Amino acid sequence: MHSTGGQSPFGSALSRVQLDRRTLIRVGAAGLGAATTASLLAACSTGSSSASGGKATVRIWSWYSDMKDTLPKVLADFEAKHPNIKVENRIFGSPDQYLPALTAAVSSGDVPEIFAPHVRANTYGEQGISADLSKDLGGDFLKDFFPAQNMVDQSNGKQYWVAWEAQTFGIFYNPDIFKLAKIDGEPETWDDLIEAAHKVNAIGKSAVGFASNPGTSALDFFLPLVTQVTDDPTYFLKLDYLTKGYKWTNQPIVDALKLNDKIVKAKVFQPNTNGTSGDQVNQLFYTGGSAMLFSGSWMPNTLVQSAPPEFVKKYKIMKTPAIKSGARHWTADQAGAGWAVSETSKNKEAALELLKYLYTPDVYAKLMNSSYAMPATKSAADQIADPNVKLMASWLPDGCPHIPFGPGSSAAGDPLQKIFDQTATPSRSPRRCRRRC
């Protein structure tokens, strides 16, 4: 590398310094001192965010980004009415950004006062992390909500969370493509849908866009199938909680899997469903790549945000097809977005105040309308403004209420995905699902 001659150019310039040890100690002390001072400064300046100047602080965390512009105003109104409560709102972009922060907060024992429980409501509730809201909010308050059995913890009858946005699933469709493919009306049964799919494929487009990625989304499609086969809206719920007698190898489940397989084989979905993510399949729909889209009641908001305005005006929605003509459609109703309250926070009372305020019918309805979201209470549902959201809300009483995330289903996502890419047959899948759950 660098070649040197003999003499150092610094020889004469340096004086004989004998202070080396002291200098070194100074350096070391400086380094340690800096680190310690920083820590002390931080410890002094950071309080825990529970009380600041006599006010109770309520943290509210979620990933409900459809409300990132509208919720802050509502929270500001609440603060104006309750001068002794300070609200700290944090909306993350997606569950992947949110869950590490929530997990970390839980691990340190300092849980936000109000938080979106994702699929962990019951787990946290049973551990005493989230509060039992049937006790804290009372029966009268909860009566206004659309019935959803998944709200109640099956192991002890308590309710650890409340629904914030109800979610029905349906099939969104593009009437222009229907006209091009010469499809009349809306397909009522699965066979009708298969026929319509053939016509759409014939004009070179995908029929129904569906994102079975991650595997748990495959369960979202499977749920109405099971309910339709059994005509029992509690069947999947019991399977999910490993109730005695409800196994993946039961005949109705096998029949539902066979139906699922038949739909996939008929090329109803776009190719590579397992590799398509939620946002990709939405894009496919509003750019005219697919005639239909299997999705939920959060889609109107998504479409307003991202789709061309002409598209927003023209799309329509229909119910999930039924198993035969005249049978109940059993649209899935999932209430995936909800709120839980921290049991251990010292500001729990303030948090409950805020929660009750958020559900006041006028406040709630206005907030939901401004975000094109679907409320979970009957009184707010009466005030829905957007026709598409209103339509989906009208299906709620006819729905099969459940989110498949209990012990009986979350591990079944993977084997179920194999039906979507045809790497497994309906005869093998039940045993696989059963083994994993």
Partner 1 sequence: MRTRRFPVGKSFASFILLALAALTVFPFVWMVLTSLREQNTIFGGPFIPAHFTFAAYPKAWESTQFALHFANSLWITAATVAGVVVFASLAGYAFAKLKFPFKNALYVMLLATLMMPSTSLIIPLYLQLRSFGLLNSQVGLLVVYVSSSAPFAMFLMRAFFASLPDELIEAARIDGAGEFTVFWRVVVPLARPGMATVIIFQFLGTWNEFIYANTILQDSGKLPLQPVLFLLVGQYTTDWPTLTAGLTMSIVPVVIVYVWMQRQFVAGMTLGAVKS
Partner 2 sequence: MSASAWRLHRSERIAGYTFIVPITVLFALFVGWPIVRAVYLGFTTWSGFGAPRFTGLDNYARMLHDPVAQHAFLITIIYAVVTTVLQTAIPLVVAVLLANVWSGLSVVVRTILFIPGIVSFVVSGVLWKLIFDPNLGTLNQALKSLGLGDLALPWLADGRTALPAIMLVSLWGGLGANMLIYFAGIQGVDPALYEAAQIDGAGSWQRFRYVTIPALRGVTAIVLSLNLMNGFKAFDLIFVMTGGGPSHATDTFGTYLYSLAFGSAGGSIPQLGYGSAFSVVVMLLCGVAVLVQVALTRRAQR
Sites of contact with partner 2 (CB under 8 A)? 1, 3, 20-21, 24-25, 27-28, 31-32, 34-35, 95-96, 99-100, 103, 106-107, 119-120, 122-124, 127, 129, 213-216, 271-272, 274-277, 280, 283-284, 287, 289, 405-407, 410-411, 413-414, 417-418, 421, 423
CB of 100 to partner 1, least distance (A): 5
Name the binder of 65 from partner 2, partner 1, none, CB < 5-8 A by kind: partner 1
Q: Is 191 exposed, middle or buried (0-12, 13-18, 19+ CB in 10 A)?
A: middle
CA 386 – CA 375 distance, rounded (Å): 12
Stretch that binds partner 1, among 11-19, 224-232, 377-385, 386-394 (CB under 8 A): 11-19
Partner from partner 2, partner 1, none contacting 85, C-beta within 5 to 8 A by type: none
Bridge-partner residues for 189, per DSSP? 322
115 phi and psi angles, rounded to 5 deg: -145, 155
Stretch that binds partner 1, among 39-47, 139-147, 213-221, 398-406 (CB under 8 A): 39-47
Q: Where are the beta strands (DSSP E) in 363-429?
A: 400-401
What mask of x and - would describe binding to partner 1 in positions 100 to 119, judged by CB under 8 A?
A: xx-xxx-xx-x---------
Residue 339 CB neighbour total at 10 angstroms: 24
How far is the CA of 261 from the CAs of 193, 217, 430, in angstroms? Answer: 14, 16, 13
- Number of residues located near partner 1, criterion CB under 8 A: 69
x/- map, 53-92, partner 1, by CB under 8 A: ------x---x-xx-xx------------------xxxxx
In the stretch 251-290, what mask flags binding to partner 1 with x, by CB under 8 A? ---------------------------xx--xx--xxx--
69 contact, one of partner 1, partner 2, none, CB 5-8 Å limit per kind? partner 1
Distance CA 426, CA 403 (A): 22
Across 13-27, b (16+ Cβ under 10 Å) vs e yields: eeeeeeeeeeeeeee
Tell me the DSSP string of 189-217.
BHHHHHHHHHHHHHTT-EEEE----SHHH
Out of partner 1, partner 2, none, what residue 213 binds, judged by CB under 5 to 8 A for its kind, is: partner 2
For residue 325, CA distances in Å to 47, 184, 186, 192 come to 63, 16, 12, 10
